[in-house]
Amino acid sequence: MTIQANAKVNLVLRILGKRTDGYHEIETLMVPVTLADELEVVVAAGTGITIACDDPSVPADTSNLAWRAAEAFARESGLTFRTSIILRKRIPHGAGLGGGSSDAAATLKALDALLETKLGDKALEKIAATIGSDVPFFIQNKPSWCRGRGELLEAAGQLPPTKLLLIKPPFPVSTAWAYQAAGAGRRPSEPQRLGGLEICNDFEGPVFQKFLLLPAIKSWLFEQPEVDAAMMSGSGSTLFAILRGNAMDLDRPGLAARATERFGGSLWVSECSTLSS
């Protein structure tokens, strides 16, 4: 079975405090986008898991969330089977776009279909929560408010499709480091207005203090006429620009080219759109 694993952006990300279980309490509005990895999942008789990936920097062992998803599905379903996964990466890792979490959710959905277990979204979300905080969101893969440590979902309803430009510099940001830095006297992020929604990301303060290229790119984006808003996604290091509706089909390639010209060819740049449902 071949299945798509979409990336996401965070239009809102608030860190509300540290929990007694060691996690952070958050409130975030996550929206899937058209950028996606592709997974080919095969099940057969036997046991074991293998992963092959076209990106050599992606681990193909138990640290890969797709591997952990296959393990979790076998454990929770009580079934014995062999899983082979071919992963074609389009979402950079360490980017704040949820690529690993989305791959894990796609693996769960593929196994549920291939093995005809018909667990349903809620049961799959419960398994997903044992793998990672963002993984449950990608089961239904629609705009959602995510609370708790990210596993408590509330549908956000229909959001208008929006065109984005994603820009990632040639370095990742460790999510564990970002949470630690955010808890050490963090500065609140500066909110922006996007229609009737106030968008913000509380990770921007500490991450921007360490990685000075990121605020420079964000400031540059605000100067561009086709950009309506700009913000970091997740704990970084990707920034996304929300593009204006007027003439952006004409201007958008120019914006990507200008970003590369201004900040160097080592940038990863991708055009995509949000998915409304």
Return the active site residues.
Answer: 8, 134
Helix (H, G, I), strand (E, B) or coil at 268: strand
Residue 16 near residue 54, CB atoms below 8 Å: no
Q: Cα(95)–Cα(130) distance, rounded to whole angstroms?
A: 22
**Which of 151-164 are b and which e, b meaning 16 or more Cβ less than 10 Å from the residue's Cβ?**
bebeebeebeebbb
CA atoms within 13 A on the CB side of 156: 25
- Amino acid letter for position 26: I
CA dist 112 to 23, 72, 236, Å? 29, 12, 31
- Through-space distance between the first and last CA atoms of the chain, rounded to whole angstroms: 23
Residue 44 near residue 128, CB atoms below 8 Å: no
* Element at 165 (helix H, strand E): strand 163-168
Residue 200 near residue 27, CB atoms below 8 Å: no
CA dist 216 to 9, 74, 120, 150, 225, Å? 20, 46, 44, 29, 17
Residue 148 near residue 25, CB atoms below 8 Å: yes
Instruction: Please give the structure tokens belonging to residue 90.
Output: 């389009």
